[in-house]
Amino acid sequence: MKTILSLIVIVSLGSLSTFASQAPDPKAPKAPGEKSAAHGAAEKAPARVFFKNLKNGQTIPTKYKIEFGIEGVAVKPAGEIVPGTGHHHLIIDGDAIPAGQVVPADEHHVHFGKGQTEYEITLKPGKHKLLLQFADGAHISYGPELSAVVDVIVK
């Protein structure tokens, strides 16, 4: 009996050590690398633009000075393309511009290419959608991720 038992112990120990020595080897070199890459991407994220003095649903007069806020990116006048910088655009009653597309320049798309961070707007009474869109030195949009939108009621 003793011989059989010790044989079983040896066999099971043997298979355990084989399993243990196989398991970590293929995983070890890959897992830490993948994790740190994913973390690196997640930590970059928090850049944003926002209206400093406008909330969704707010009632404003026909003339109102809007203040533009920014975090994680820097305002720079249009011209040179520098990563992490750009200028504001106010889109009146329109949608965010997809990343990589040029922000149009017309009555619904106002560029602040001098690096302005405020603008006195004149709006007709009624409901309006105001969208702040950040874009690079060549007016190429950073996309909806770097935009902010509010609906306002003008009285």
- Least Å distance, CB 133 to Cu ion, is 9
- 53, two tokens: 């003095």
| DSSP-derived 3-state class of residue 42 | helix
- Least Å distance, CB 120 to Cu ion, is 18
Q: Please identify, using beta-carbon distances, which residue of 37 and 81 lies nearer to Cu ion.
A: 81
For Cu ion, what does the binding mask look like between residues 109 and 128, x meaning CB under 5 A? --x-----------------
Q: Please identify, using beta-carbon distances, which residue of 58 and 117 lies nearer to Cu ion.
A: 117
Binding segment for Cu ion (CB under 5 A), chosen from 8-16, 29-37, 40-48, 137-145, is: 137-145
Contact indicator for 146, 109 with CB cutoff of 8 Å: no
Interactions with Cu ion, residue window 16-35 (CB under 5 A)? none
For 40-63, what is the HEC assignment?
HHHHHCCCEEEECCCCCCCEECCE
Contact indicator for 27, 82 with CB cutoff of 8 Å: no
Residue 148: CB atoms within 10 A of its CB come to 19
Name the residue type at position 5. Answer: L
Q: Give the separation between CA 62 and CA 46, rounded to whole angstroms.
A: 33
Interactions with Cu ion, residue window 83-112 (CB under 5 A)? 111
Among the listed residues 68, 139, 148, 150, the single contact to Cu ion using CB under 5 A: 139
Residues that bind Cu ion (CB under 5 A): 111, 139
